[in-house]
A and B are shown apart, each in its own frame.
Chain A
C-alpha cells in the first residue's frame, strides 16, 4: 500500500475508533417508550393494579404514618411544614432528581427526604433501604402517581446528565456489558426466561418479588452491576445520582407508577 493510502486508511480507522468510544454515544430514548410493566407477566401486572393486594401499599401505609409523626428536638413532623401530603406533595416527585439550590449538588427524592430530616427536622437521617426512607419515598411518589417527570438537564444539571449518559454506555464487570447493550439495544428480547425491559426508573421504589421487599432505584443499579459481575457502588453515590438523572430524561413522558411492582 502507498504511503498516502496507508495514512488515509489509518485515519479512517482512528476516526471509527473515536466515534465508537463511549463518550461519543448520543443520548437516546428507546422507541417506542414502554414502561417495564409491559415486560412483566400477568401476575405482576395484576399485583401492581390491585390497590389492596399491591404489597408496596404496606410501605406507603408506613410512610403515611411517618408523615404525621413528630421528629427531632423540636418535634416537627413532615406535615408541620408541608401540610397534607396529597396537596403539599402533589407533583413534587416529578421534579427529581434536581439541582439543590442551597448546595448546588444533584439531589434525588431520597436525598431530599434525608436532607429535610437532618437539616430541618434536626433528626437522624434515614438510611437507604430503611423501612422509613422507603415508606416516605413511596408515599411522596404516590402523590405524583400517573404523572410524567418534569426534570431539567440544562444549566448546572447538564454535566450530571452527561456523566449519567457516559455511565449508561460504559461497559462494566466481568461480563463487560453496559446498560445500553441490554436496555437500549436489546429490550424486548429474552434473557433466560425474562423479557428485557427498557430499564426505566418510573416505578421506583418498587416491591420486587426477587427481593421480597420494597427497594430503591439505587438498589436496582446495584442488582444490575452485580448481575454483570461488576463492583457495586453504595446507594446515594454521585455516579448513581447522575445515572438517575439520565434515566429520568430517558423515560420521556412515561408516568410515575407508585407503588411499583416488578418481578
Chain B
C-alpha cells in the first residue's frame, strides 16, 4: 500500500496506464515514413484500430512477384453499418500504396482476394474504412526471399 502512495512510483504507474491505449493505436501504424504519410491520407489523420480485419497471406512468399492474399472484414454490411473501402499497404515497397477497393450499394460480403508484389520482407497492412468513419486494420508479417539463381533468360 505504501509503495503505491510513493509519489514518483505512483506517477510512473499512472503514466504507464495512460500510455497503453496510445500504444495499441500506434501498433497499427506502418513501418516507414512514406507508408505513415499514406495512412494519414487514407484516414485523414483518424486513428486506426487493430481488429475486425483479417489478412490471410502466407508467412513465407514463394516469390515476391506474386503473393496471394485474402482480406475478410467483420461487418454486417447494412446501409447503416458497412465497409466503404479496403486499402492494401506494403510499407517497404517503393510505392507503399498497393490498391484501394471501394464497395457500392450492391456489394456483398467484404471479402477480397488478389495477388500483390512485395519487394522484400515486411508487415503488409489491410485497412478497412467503415461507414461510421472508423478505421480498422490488420498487419501480417511476410518473409520474401530472392530467387536462388540469377535469370537472364
* Direct interface between A and B, CB < 8 A: yes
A residues with CB within 8 A of B:
40-44, 46-47, 191-194, 209-212, 215, 219-220, 222-224, 226-229, 232, 263
Say whether B132 faces chain A, with CB atoms less than 8 Å apart: no
Closest to B148 in A: A192
Is the CB–CB distance between B153 and A43 below 8 Å?
no
Residue interface mask B139-153, A partner, CB < 8 A = 1: 000000111111111
Q: How far is the CB of B40 from chain A (nearest CB, A)?
A: 32
Identify the 7 closest CB pairs spanning chains A and B, nearest first: A227-B149, A192-B148, A209-B63, A226-B152, A193-B145, A222-B153, A41-B62
Is the CB–CB distance between A219 and B148 below 8 Å?
no
Is the CB–CB distance between A212 and B66 below 8 Å?
yes
Size of B's binding interface in residues, CB under 8 A: 18
Is the CB–CB distance between B68 and A47 below 8 Å?
yes
Of B61, B65, B67, B149, which is within 8 A of A223 by CB? B149
Provide the bound-state CA to CA distance between A209 and B68, in Å.
12
Is the CB–CB distance between A215 and B153 below 8 Å?
yes
Say whether B9 faces chain A, with CB atoms less than 8 Å apart: no
Provide the bound-state CA to CA distance between A222 and B67, in Å.
25
Provide the bound-state CA to CA distance between A192 and B150, in Å.
12
B residues with CB within 8 A of A:
58, 60-63, 65-68, 145-153
Q: Total A-B residue pairs with C-beta atoms closer than 8 Å?
A: 66
**B interface: dominant SS:** loop
Is the CB–CB distance between B151 and A212 below 8 Å?
no
**A interface: dominant SS:** mixed
Closest to A227 in B: B149
Provide the bound-state CA to CA distance between A194 and B151, in Å.
14
Is the CB–CB distance between A192 and B65 below 8 Å?
no
Is the CB–CB distance between A210 and B65 below 8 Å?
yes
For B149, what are the chain A residues with a Cβ–Cβ distance below 8 Å?
Answer: 191, 223-224, 226-228
Of B61, B63, B145, B151, which is within 8 A of A192 by CB? B145
Closest to B60 in A: A41
Of B58, B65, B151, which is within 8 A of A41 by CB? B58
* A222-B153, A223-B151 known; A192 vs B62 contact (CB < 8 Å): no
For B146, what are the chain A residues with a Cβ–Cβ distance below 8 Å?
Answer: 192-193
* A192-B146, A193-B145 known; A44 vs B62 contact (CB < 8 Å): yes
Apart from the given pairs A41-B61, A44-B62, 14 other A-B contacts in the complex at a CB distance below 8 Å: A41-B60, A43-B67, A47-B68, A192-B145, A193-B146, A193-B148, A194-B145, A209-B62, A210-B151, A211-B151, A219-B153, A223-B151, A226-B150, A263-B62
Is the CB–CB distance between B58 and A43 below 8 Å?
yes
